[in-house]
């Protein structure tokens, strides 16, 4: 009787131990599964967390060797070619693009560039030295209050077309290094030396002159 009771108790204990072991195993399995799912979820959402961030280098100033790509219009993102530029203007707007990483340096508005094609015979010697086949590049940011330079119009003080900021009517002559010919701008637009390879334009050096406005607004 005692032995029978002992055997019954042992069996019950064994069953309990097995149940506890099974429960422990199940909990461990679930924990591992949840951990794996959490890791997968983090990996999946990681690119989304960074999706709104600017790519490294996108706010850096134009670098030597950068390609120039259209910043607006139907050709946005495409390389600016000499064939795409009409002689005598108007200018086109462009961003520099790192050819190695394909990063467009558009995270800073100070990187936007005006590209215009003029008659080389009209350029002064310093301006001609920075041009390629009469094609010139300047900062698209007015040196007065930092507004965008958007117009190509006849000057208020002469008979030639000029680059003009419509905010406060500052005018720049691209034939003479974008010097100020009218308005409150305190200095010329920064110039960007150019190179031409296989018909496409690229940056040949750093900006010459300060980029941006002299005052906020």
> How confident is the model over 79-110, as pLDDT tens digits?
999 999 999 999 999 999 999 999 999 999 99
Compute how many other C-beta atoms are within 10 angstroms of the C-beta atom of residue 95: 25
Averaged pLDDT for residues 32-41: 47
The distance of Cα 187 from the centroid of its chain, to the nearest Å, equals: 26
Are the C-beta atoms of 92 and 115 separated by less than 8 Å? Answer: yes
Q: Is the pLDDT of residue 24 over 70?
A: no
What pLDDT, on the 0 to 100 scale, is given for residue 44?
A: 41
Q: Is the pLDDT of residue 39 over 90?
A: no
What pLDDT, on the 0 to 100 scale, is given for residue 53?
A: 78
Range name among 19-33, 75-89, 133-147, 186-200 with the lowest pLDDT average: 19-33
Q: What are phi and psi of 87, to 5 degrees?
A: -65, 130
Residue 41: which pLDDT band, with cuts at 50, 70 and 90?
Answer: very low
Q: Is the pLDDT of residue 16 over 60?
A: no
Residue 27: which pLDDT band, with cuts at 50, 70 and 90?
Answer: low
pLDDT digit string, tens, across residues 194-207: 999 899 999 999 99
| Cα-Cα end-to-end distance for the chain | 100
CA distance 203 to 17: 76
What pLDDT, on the 0 to 100 scale, is given for residue 109?
A: 95
Q: Is the pLDDT of residue 77 over 90?
A: yes
pLDDT digit string, tens, across residues 103-144: 999 999 999 999 999 999 999 999 999 999 999 999 999 999
Question: Greater confidence, 175 or 22?
Answer: 175
What pLDDT, on the 0 to 100 scale, is given for residue 214?
A: 77
Q: Is the pLDDT of residue 51 over 70?
A: no
Averaged pLDDT for residues 61-82: 96
Residue 168: which pLDDT band, with cuts at 50, 70 and 90?
Answer: very high
Q: CB under 8 Å to 64, separation ≥6 — which residues?
A: 203, 204, 205, 206
What pLDDT, on the 0 to 100 scale, is given for residue 54?
A: 84
Q: Which residue has the tokens 């041009």?
A: 131
């Amino acid at each position: 009787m005692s032995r029978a009771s002992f055997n019954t108790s042992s069996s019950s204990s064994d069953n309990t131990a097995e149940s506890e072991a099974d429960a422990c195993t199940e909990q461990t399995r679930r924990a591992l599964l949840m951990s794996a799912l959490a890791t997968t979820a983090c990996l999946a959402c990681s690119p989304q967390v960074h999706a709104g961030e600017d790519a490294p280098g996108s706010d850096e100033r134009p670098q030597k060797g950068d390609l120039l790509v259209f910043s607006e219009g139907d050709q946005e993102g495409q390389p600016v070619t000499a064939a795409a530029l009409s002689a005598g203007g108007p200018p086109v707007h462009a961003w520099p693009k790192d050819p190695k990483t394909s990063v467009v340096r558009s995270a800073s508005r100070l990187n936007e560039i005006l590209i215009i094609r003029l008659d080389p015979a009209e350029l002064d010697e310093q301006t001609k030295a920075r041009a390629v086949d009469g094609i010139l590049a300047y900062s698209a940011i007015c040196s007065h209050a930092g507004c965008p330079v958007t117009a190509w119009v006849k000057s208020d003080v002469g008979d030639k077309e000029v680059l003009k900021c419509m905010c406060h009517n500052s005018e720049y002559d691209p034939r003479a290094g974008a010097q100020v010919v009218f308005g409150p701008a305190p200095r010329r637009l920064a110039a960007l030396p150019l190179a031409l390879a296989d018909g496409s334009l690229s940056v040949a050096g750093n900006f010459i002159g300060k980029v941006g406005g002299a005052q906020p607004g």
